[in-house]
Chain A
Amino acid sequence: MIEAQSLTKRYGAKTAVDSIDFTVRPGRVTGFLGPNGAGKSTTMRMIVGLDRPSGGVVRVNGKAYVRHHAPLRQVGALLDAKAVHPGRSARHHLLAVAATHRIGAKRVDEVIGLTGLEPVAGRRVGGFSLGMGQRLGLAVALLGDPATLILDEPVNGLDPDGVVWLRGLVRRLAVEGRTVFLSSHLMSEMAQTADHVIILGRGRVVADAPMSEIVAGAEGDSVQVRSPQAEHLTPLLEAEGATVSRAEADLISVTGLAAARIAEVAAGARVVVHELTPLTRSLEDAYMALTRDEVEYRTMQTSPEVDR
């Protein structure tokens, strides 16, 4: 369990984290989303005492992280993969971290096995790929078999196998009653992994709700309809109460009418339909809507032609 109260971090005149309150509960995966610079990493760093809060408190499993007698048993953190001396072997790095908490070589070899590092454990970290570095970071996080896991962008650099593996691992850890708090910029990944979502924008909590609620809160479902007679179909659908917008000459986007009903209307009017695709709301849509005004580094609006 992670509890933040009025947690604040200022760097000079800039407020990176602005008096936020949130609770991350055990037994589920909580996703932490937000645009770059929203304060996600700073928040995570404050949880494990790397950064000192300018105000407010954050507690892990009831206490400030620093006050725990065995911090690594309470929290496993992956904050910065490959934050390891390039000349040291992965196994030595793990042994060094383990030694602080009387964690033996047996557990070290266990997490090496768990994260699939066996073939490279004895090699110097400098030659590791991004994915291997990420696995080492995860191994460090898992070392203390901790009650709470804090993972900052854990899928970064993992190959597709690794992503699937990590998703399973994270789900399993949550089922075991642990607190799992992870950030990611990959919405689709987050949508498949997290049960609960906290969205940060410009240092404030923009949303803190179950995944289903966040997704449901997004703008309505739409159906994509491709038809050579789109022009003819449009008024018929509008008569049924739908909102229709035209994307291409033969492609319209329909909201407010179910796909089945659209098909019936088209059939009734003997309109040929080539494609009928219901588009469900995604976490991405919800996220975009929620953070629209919170993005710090917005890209300039460019025309699609230029964009491609």
Chain B
Amino acid sequence: MSSTTAPSVFVPAEGDLYLGGVIRSEWIKFRSVRSTWWAYAVLLTLTVGIGAQVSSSLSFEGMPDVPTQDAIQDMAVYAVTVTTDFGALIVGALGVVVIAGEYGTGTIRSTITAVPTRLPILFAKALVFAVATFVVSAVAFAVTVPLSVSLLARNDVAVRLDDPQYWLALLGGVGYLVLVGLIAFSVGGLMRTTAGGMSVTFVLLLVAPIATSFLPTGAENVAVLLPSIAGDVLLSYPTEQSWVDLAAPTASSDWITEPWQGGLTLVAWVAVLFTAAAVLLEQRDA
């Protein structure tokens, strides 16, 4: 294409739309609004602050039985992840805002004009949000662990840090936050309004577990399929003797008991909702 063939027609410069660029774009957008920083600051502060507070007040003092190491590790995991259910709400709210906020402000129109193939937007957004959430919650736990361990030690609770299950449970907590965030993100993409997305997310995380407790026995087992319950399973310490009641057997009637099962349940939620959000993003007018 030389300029002599068609001097009157403007030839644009080269340069492609590419996935890396879309991810970079989403990262710029993600970090350039205050809501992101607020949400993560609250998550970090609460995790560390309340984790430390709870660690300083937990002990086996006054309990009739002798705690096994299992029960101690179980308590130690609880102390660090005590705020995770609340953290899930913060991360969920942010997940909704990240995508639904674009519709509310109209930014989605410049985004889709720049990336008319659309799906990369959803992937890039989800990736940026998931990685950031992973990093922040991992940092939050990493800061809480030494505090928690030393505070528990003062109460004669000797946590063993060479126990892989302890770290796996904390990793489960990180995974729970990331996956709940992605569930909320997908809901936000489906609802396309911040208010609507938040309502649905909070109903799913807060109201649904309560509602299922009113179901007849047997049917209430479906509650373990809810994200917040599956999340609690995911970050639980697999134990023979729980610190909550040293005398009671830990066997439960629930059919999803292993952390990985809880994790899979959450992944299934993400897969279904994210796919739905992707399909609708493709089909709907922006």
Residues of A with Cβ closer than 8 Å to B?
26-27, 45, 48-52, 65-66, 68-75, 77, 79-80, 82-89, 92-93, 95-103, 140, 144-147, 176-178
Contacts and interface: CB of A to CB of B under 8 A. Distances in A.
Nearest to A11: B285
A99 to B, nearest CB: 4
Contacts of B42: none
A70 B85 CA distance: 43
Contacts of B101: 85
Contact of A83 (B8, B11, B24, B110): B110
A102 B16 contact: yes
Interface of B: 6-18, 21-22, 24-26, 28-29, 32-35, 101-102, 105-107, 109-117, 283, 285-286
Nearest to A86: B105
B103 to A, nearest CB: 10
Contacts of B34: 87
A89 B29 CA distance: 10
Contacts of B24: 99-100
28 contacts: A49-B116, A70-B16, A71-B114, A71-B116, A72-B113, A72-B114, A73-B13, A73-B15, A74-B12, A79-B109, A83-B105, A83-B109, A85-B107, A86-B105, A87-B35, A88-B32, A89-B32, A92-B29, A92-B32, A93-B32, A93-B107, A93-B110, A96-B26, A96-B28, A101-B21, A145-B12, A146-B12, A177-B8
B12 A48 contact: no
Given A92-B32, A100-B25, A101-B16, A66 B107 contact: no
Contacts of A45: 285
A259 B113 CA distance: 53
A93 B12 CA distance: 22
B29 A73 contact: no
A233 B213 CA distance: 95
B105 A177 contact: no
A166 B187 CA distance: 41
Contacts of B6: 177
Contacts of B16: 69-70, 101-102
A75 B112 CA distance: 13
Pairs A-B, 5 closest by C-beta atoms: A83-B106, A92-B32, A177-B10, A99-B25, A73-B12
A70 B15 contact: yes
Given A85-B105, A95-B28, A102 B9 contact: no
Given A27-B9, A77-B113, A100-B25, A72 B17 contact: yes
A74 B15 CA distance: 11
A65 B118 CA distance: 12
Contacts of A80: 106, 109
Contacts of A83: 105-107, 109-110
Given A48-B116, A52-B285, 19 more contacts: A27-B9, A45-B285, A51-B285, A51-B286, A72-B114, A73-B12, A73-B13, A77-B113, A79-B109, A84-B110, A85-B107, A87-B33, A92-B29, A93-B110, A95-B28, A100-B21, A140-B110, A145-B13, A146-B12
B94 to A, nearest CB: 14
B202 to A, nearest CB: 23
Contact of A147 (B11, B15, B26, B29): B11
B114 A100 contact: yes
Contact of A84 (B25, B26, B105): B105
Contacts of B10: 26, 147, 176-178
A89 B33 CA distance: 9
A252 B278 CA distance: 66
B33 A88 contact: yes
A150 to B, nearest CB: 9
A52 B34 CA distance: 33
Nearest to B7: A177
